[in-house]
Amino acid sequence: MEEPAETLTQLANARGTRLLTPRIGRLFEPDRVEAVDPWWREVGTPLLVADAAPSGA
């Protein structure tokens, strides 16, 4: 399954829609954003809850 942000980016590109993806907790000026900043790719792979459980639990 695709990550929601990747799916949204693909759909926006296909429709020619401007998409704003500000970094969480940071200020931004919508008029100064020229392109999508895929910051979520730098965060890493999401951890599933089942993967986080200690072994033998």
Q: Does position 37 have pLDDT exceeding 60, yes or no?
A: yes
Angle at 33 between CA 32 and CA 34, to 5 degrees: 110
How far, in Å, CA of 14 to CA of 8, rounded? 10
Provide mean pLDDT across the span 18-36.
91
Tokens of 40: 């979520």
DSSP 48: P
Whether residue 49 contacts residue 41, with contact meaning beta carbons closer than 8 Å, is answered with no
Tokens of 52: 């986080």
Residue 43 pLDDT: 80
